[in-house]
Amino acid sequence: MIEWLWPLMLAALPLPLLVRYFWRARERNQAALTVPSLATFQAVSTDQSGIEQPQRWRLPLLWLIWALLLVAAARPQWTGEPITLPTTGRDLMLAVDISGSMATEDMAVNGNYVDRLTIVKAVVSRFVDARKGDRVGLVLFGTNAYLQAPLTFDLTSVNRLLLEAPVGIAGGKTAIGDAIGLAVKRLRMRPQEDKVIILLTDGANNVGEVAPEKAAELAAFDKIKIYTIGVGADEMQMPSLFGRRTTNPSADLDESTLTSVARTTGGRYFRARDTEGLAEIYDLIDQLEPIDQDPETYRPVQALYYWPLAVALLLFGVFLGADLGWRRRA
C-alpha cells in the first residue's frame, strides 16, 4: 500500500490563493494614481490577431505543477507485505587481522600463491553467506581495533565491508587483546546465550591496552565463546644467494596464547595452514545449538516521491518553453 511520511504538506495546496488574496488586499490599501495605459488595447489587439493568450493554459498548468510538488514533498512510499526473517539466536562477531603481515604470500589457491588476507576474505565471505538467520558483526584490527560492522542481519553489507578492507589500513602491528575486548563490548549487552567470537590472526599480540588473556576472562564472564584461528603456512620457499631456502613464515604466530584464549571461554583453537584448514569453521558453527526467538519481520519500502517530482519538473520545462514561444510571437 501507499503511505505518506509527511502528509501535512498537502495542506499547503491553497497557499497560492492565500498569497494572491493578501497581495491584492495590500494593493487595494495602497494609495496610487491611475495612469492611462495602452496595455488593455494591446491585449485586445493580440486577441484579434489570433495569437493564443497564455492565461488559458498557464494557470491550470501552474496549479498542476504546484500539486505535484506537494505530492513529492509529502514523501509517498510503497510499503510491501511483511517478510518474516529467520532467527536462530546466534550472535557472531568476526575479528579479522588485517595487519601488514597478512600480505605474506604463503598460501596456495589452484597452485598459485596469494596473500593470507585474500584467502581469509574468500573463506570468511562464504562463511558469512551461510549465516542466514544469524546476526553477524565485523571487527578489523591491526595496531588498533575498529568496529567495521555492528551486529546485523544484513550479511551483504558485512561481506562488502570485509572484502573492501586493504592490508595494513589498521596499522602494521597486532592488537589481539583490543580486538577481543571490542568484540566482547558489542556482545555483552545482547540477551542471547549463544554468543560467539571468531578471531583470525597470523601473529602475536604485540601492541594494545588489553592483554588477550584478560580479554578472554571478560568474555568468559559474559558467557561468550571465542574460537581462534591461526593463519599461515609452516614452510615457504625463499630465494637466496645459494638458490632457495626454506623458512617458516608463521614463526611469529603465538599459538599458545590463542589456545589459552579459546580454552578460557570454552571455545577451540584451529590451525589453518591452507584454505581447507580455514574452512573448518563451517562445521564448527553448524554444530552450535540455536536458541528459539520471536520471529522478526520487516516490510520492504520503496520511495515514490521522485515520480511526481520528475513530472513536475518536466511540466515546468514545457511551461517555460511554451511561455517563451508565446512571448516571441506576441
CATH number of the domain to which 215 belongs: 3.40.50.410
pLDDT value of position 116 = 86
Residues 136 and 106 in one domain: yes
pLDDT of 178 over the 60 cut? yes
> Is residue 60 in a domain?
yes
Q: For residues 130 and 34, state if they share a domain.
A: no
pLDDT tens digits, one per residue of 124-148: 888 888 887 788 999 999 999 999 9
Residues 72 and 28 in one domain: yes
Residues 278 and 324 placed together within one structural domain of the fold: no
**Which has more confidence, 104 or 274?**
104
Residue 50 and residue 147 in one domain: no
Global model pTM greater than 0.75: no
**Cα separation, 139 vs 321, whole angstroms:** 56
**Pairwise CA distance, residues 228 & 280, whole Å:** 12
Nearest to 104 by CA among 259, 280, 277, 234: 234
- 20-48 pLDDT tens trace: 888 877 766 665 545 555 454 454 444 44
Amino acid 301 reads V
Q: Is there a domain that residue 172 lies in?
A: yes
Q: How far apart are CA 298 and CA 84, in angstroms?
A: 7
Residue 188 domain-assigned (yes or no): yes
Task: Give per-residue pLDDT as tens, 44-56.
Answer: 444 444 444 555 7
Judgement on whether residues 257 and 108 belong to the same structural domain of the protein = yes
In a shared domain, residues 68 and 112: no
Task: Write the pLDDT tens digit of every residue in 218-240.
Answer: 999 998 999 999 988 776 666 55
Backbone angles phi, psi at 10, to 5 degrees: -70, -20
Q: 111 with 205, same domain?
A: yes
Query: Which three-class secondary structure state does DSSP give residue 37?
Result: coil
| pLDDT, position 330 | 64
Indicate if 266 and 170 belong to the same structural domain.
yes
Question: Does residue 310 belong to any structural domain of this protein?
Answer: yes
Domain check: are 164 and 107 in the same one?
A: yes
Query: Based on the structure, what is the number of domains in the chain?
Result: 2
CB contact set of 75 (below 8 Å; sequence gap of 6+): 4, 5, 6, 9, 303, 305
By residue count, the chain amounts to: 330
Burial of 207 by CB count in 10 Å (0-12 exposed, 13-18 middle, 19+ buried)? middle
Among the residue ranges 64-68, 105-109, 141-145, 318-322, the one predicted with the least confidence is 105-109
Distance CA 229, CA 282 (A): 13
Q: Is the pLDDT of residue 111 over 80?
A: no
Q: Is residue 112 part of a domain?
A: yes
Is residue 326 pLDDT above 80, yes or no?
Answer: no
pLDDT at 185 over 90: yes
Confirm whether 295 is domain-assigned: no
Which residue is listed with cell 578492507? Answer: 165
Strand partners, 201: 230
Q: What is the pLDDT of residues 66-98, one digit of tens each?
A: 999 999 999 999 887 777 665 656 789 999 999
Helix axes 255-265, 176-187, angle to 10 degrees: 20
Whether residue 263 is found in the same domain as residue 192: yes
pLDDT value, residue 317: 87
Question: Are 185 and 275 in a shared domain?
Answer: yes
Phi, psi (degrees; rounded to nearest 5) at 128: -65, -40
At 233-272, the pLDDT tens digits run 776 666 555 656 666 777 788 999 999 999 999 998 988 8
Q: Is 293 among the domain residues?
A: no
What does the angle CA 46 – CA 47 – CA 48 come to, to the nearest 5 degrees? 90
3-state secondary structure 263-280: HHHCCCEEEECCHHHHCH
Does residue 292 fall inside a structural domain?
no
The mean predicted confidence, pLDDT, of the chain is 81
What share of the chain has pLDDT > 90, as a percent? 32
Domain housing 97: 84-286
Find out whether 319 and 59 touch, Cβ atoms under 8 Å. no
**Cα–Cα distance measured from residue 12 to residue 15, given in angstroms and rounded to the nearest whole number:** 5
